Structure 1
Amino acid sequence: MKYRFINHTADIAFEVYGSSLAELLKNAALAFYDAFVDLSRIGESKEVEIEVEGEDDEMVLYRWLNELLYLFDTQFFAAKEIKAEVRERGRIEAIGKLRGGNLTPEMVKVEPKAITMHKFGIERSLEGFKAFVVVDI
């Protein structure tokens, strides 16, 4: 399982899974776009690269999701294909290549406002990573 949506009273919440931090970031992007966009209507003509860094896994995931939200809000961009790479050089760096296209209003299911810190976190286990994310709508 890559991700699953959690019932939440006023926001969108999901758990996301990955065997590595890179896979967790990829699956978080898939969950984000699946929650807010009719992906069957998105083209694949545009590629966008993103880079974020942080002192720990949680900060990297938080910044990663905020970068997706920024692209959604300012460039009306949503991705169907996501590649993520993680490097550790004192700080954790994440590089993403997103392939997708521009949004039109009828493609948007509901509009995200903010990535929240409410119950936000990552758990590590022998199986890999699990994160919980709530997005304000």
Structure 2
Amino acid sequence: MDFNSLNYQIIDHTADLGIIVDGTDEKNLFIRTAQAMTDLMVEGDISKETVIKDVVIEGEDFPDLMVRWLGEILYLFDGENLIVNSITIKSISPTKLKSTLTLTSFETEHHQVKREIKAVTYHQISVDKVNDGWQARIIFDI
């Protein structure tokens, strides 16, 4: 192949976005990370309750559980056009989370997409007990 004849342009592309979230305990941390991700994705009035859904997530440890949890929130938005309004976590352990979500239907006249999140990644994921609380670091593929 003659590489001298190739015609292409290199573009600068940022494909990731990360957040660090603090919580008072594990339940609070998982609630706050879901709220933060929702805030990154959508804006508008989400106070209208339309659907209540029980969600159970299982994982290998807290970081895996976090990725799966946020992946479910992302699926509800992308796949079912539902926005998280409020969250009750009934129980949580390093391998299982049981929750009830109150969701609002995404309606273009009331909501706008701020940014598209394609995936929740395992890259540099951390969920740790720090000082008197908990902290998570999550990277999203955008």
* Short-chain TM bin: 0.7 to 0.9
Q: Which residue of structure 2 lines up, in the alignment, with residue 81 of structure 1?
A: 86
Q: What percentage of aligned pairs have identical amino acids?
A: 29
Unaligned runs of 5+ in 1: 1-8
TM normalised by structure 2 equals: 0.79
Q: Give 1:87 deviation, angstroms.
A: 4.0
TM normalised by structure 1 equals: 0.82
Question: Equivalences for 1:83-122 in 2 at 5 Å?
Answer: 83-88=88-93, 92-105=95-108, 107-122=112-127
Name the aligned partner's letter for residue 116 of structure 1: T
Name the aligned partner's letter for residue 92 of structure 1: T
Question: Equivalences for 1:20-59 in 2 at 5 Å?
Answer: 20-41=25-46, 43-59=48-64
Unaligned runs of 5+ in 2: 1-13
DSSP-derived class of the 2:45 partner: helix
Q: Which has the larger radius of gyration?
A: 2
Q: Distance in 2 between matches of 1:112 and 1:104?
A: 18
Number of residue pairs matched by the alignment: 127
- Runs of 4 or more off by more than 6 Å in structure 1? none
Name the aligned partner's letter for residue 130 of structure 1: Q
